[in-house]
Amino acid sequence: KRVAILISGGGSNMVKLVESMTGDHPARPVIVGSNDPQAAGLARASALGVPTFAVDHRDFRGDRAAFEAGLLGPLLAAQPDILCLAGFMRILTSEFVQQFEGRLLNIHPSLLPKYPGLHTHQRAIEAGDAEAGATVHLVTPELDAGPILGQVRVPVLPQDTAESLAARVLVQEHRLYPKVLRRFARGELSPITLTAA
């Protein structure tokens, strides 16, 4: 299976996904793209030997369809079987999603369906939740709402700030996403739940 990954920043999840696709893993990374030419993850992908591209969404000033057309060029040229969003911070139109529906994955830093959207850790803390975490799901046109493929649950500690919680959840994202991708690449769609080690 050919895997493409889209990032917007550091790409720590992308790095873990790329590093996981070795040996008897049924998938291999074929390209990493970003909406930000300065994304630090692009250099990390290159260092791992994965071709990269960037399409600066600021060049399209709100014309979402034109930006996505720019993404589709290099993406489709790589002929991916699976597209993983990993720290990708742009909302995709339903037209784009429909081109990859059923093979488009995303990781979201909350226990969906709780806290779709942004500032998920702050919201969990303010709600007094005992647990937070992350979710890998299939992407549908509705934001952060597709079928769940995996979750990891992380305790919220009394002294947690959004930053400390985010850091602890991120470590667990790095366990969850590679595990879910390996299963998905094998056609195993039943959802898994991990707990923080």
- Token reading at 38: 């300065």
HSE at residue 158, side-chain half, CA atoms within 13 A, is 0
Instruction: Give the integer Cα–Cα distance in Å for 104 and 50.
Output: 19
Site for ligand GRF in 141-170 (CB under 6 A): 166, 170
Q: Could you tell me which stretch among 2-10, 51-59, 122-130, 143-151 binds ligand GRF (CB under 6 A)? A: 2-10
Would the annotation count 35 as a binding residue?
Answer: no
| DSSP character at residue 156 | P
- Token reading at 138: 């299939």
**Contact criterion met (CB below 8 Å) for 107 and 173:** yes
Of the candidates 108, 121, 137, 174, the residue annotated as catalytic is: 108
- Rule CB under 6 A: say whether 86 interacts with ligand GRF: yes
Binding ligand GRF (rule: CB under 6 A), the pick from 11, 33, 70, 133 is 11
- Token reading at 25: 């893993």
Would the annotation count 44 as a binding residue?
Answer: no
Given the complex with ligand GRF, which of 69 and 162 has the nearer CB atom?
162
User: Catalytic amino acids?
Assistant: 108
Residues at the interface with ligand GRF (CB under 6 A): 7, 9-14, 41, 86-87, 107, 109, 166, 170, 173
